[in-house]
Amino acid sequence: MLSLYFVKSNNTFYILIFGWFILQKQYVRTPYLPGWGQVPLQQFSRQSSLKNKFILCGNGNSKVLALTFDDGPSKYTNDILSVLRKHNVKASFFMTGKSLYRDQVIAKNVYRQGHLIGNHTFSHPWASQKNNFNLMYLQIRKTQNIMEDVLGFKPQYFRPAFGDITDLQLKIINRYGCEVIGWSIDTQDWFYDDNPKKIANNALSNLHNEAIILLHDGGGSRISTTKAIDILIRKAKAQGYRFVTIDALVSNKKKKLIRMKNARF
């Protein structure tokens, strides 16, 4: 017989499936910044529980983290790559089609160094303000085609700009063959762009197993972000964390869910 228990540890909620493994509740740990028009945190949590879900983190069984960078490539991307290379860390870059088309050499450099590349729309619009045809064809598919032309493949992972997306759009994108990726930790480097210690601490104070961490390599000055990840990686490794790309995190998540689905209780 299946037994479920709800437990809390280090500000993280888990569902314990007796005799098998733990699934952590998906939600954004970073406090909301009022007055900046962010997507409500409750919406992230609700959409993470849908059939066509918004993935905010992994299951929580492994002590790994996924660094993700949005809005690039840009002139700051190579500096970020240097820090990642220094620490032997692979990350995931959600690129806009517009930026990738402009900075193709940098995008190829990201790919050659073994990092994952995902789709972040063409021009970074609020998806909920676009009709579904506009979003799919002028934002997502347009970017998929640019990435195929420049990099030789179409990404399997999509992140909506601002984390803004409707339930129907989630369903359409999943049917298109893309996993929709959010985050469980927002470093808020888009706000604290002159304070690398604050950016790093926003992540370090909210770390949890299989977290997806939001950062940016485009859309503004990312000098502080570059300094922050040096601090973040060093201190997270000291706590025993490893770093993986989104595909490894999502693959691990699927294997565990399949195991649960096929289990005999």
In this prediction, residues 105-119 reach a mean pLDDT of 98
Query: Can you tell me which residue has the tokens 């609020």?
Result: 126
**Helix locations, 66-207, DSSP H:** 77-86, 97-102, 104-112, 132-133, 141-151, 167-176, 196-204
Residue-level pLDDT at 251: 79
Q: Decide if pLDDT at 58 tops 50.
A: yes
20: helix, strand or coil: coil
pLDDT digits (tens, 9 = 90+) for 198-246: 999 999 999 999 999 999 999 999 999 999 999 999 999 999 999 999 9
* 35-68 burial code (b ≥16 CB/10 A, e <16): eeebbebebbeebbeeebebbbbbbbbbebbbbb
Domain residue extents for the chain: 26-262
pLDDT digits (tens, 9 = 90+) for 166-207: 999 999 999 999 999 999 999 999 999 999 999 999 999 999
Residue-level pLDDT at 34: 85
| Residues carrying an active site annotation | 70, 216
Q: Decide if pLDDT at 260 tops 60.
A: no
Contact assessment for residue 101 and residue 142, using Cβ atoms and an 8 Å cutoff: no
The DSSP call for residue 209 is T
* CATH architecture of residue range(s) 26-262: Alpha-Beta Barrel (3.20)
pTM for the predicted model, two decimal places: 0.88
Is residue 13 left, alpha or beta, with left meaning phi > 0 and alpha meaning psi from -120 to 50?
A: beta
What is the C-alpha to C-alpha distance for residues 123 and 145, in angstroms, rounded to an integer? 14
In this prediction, residues 103-127 reach a mean pLDDT of 97
Residue-level pLDDT at 254: 56
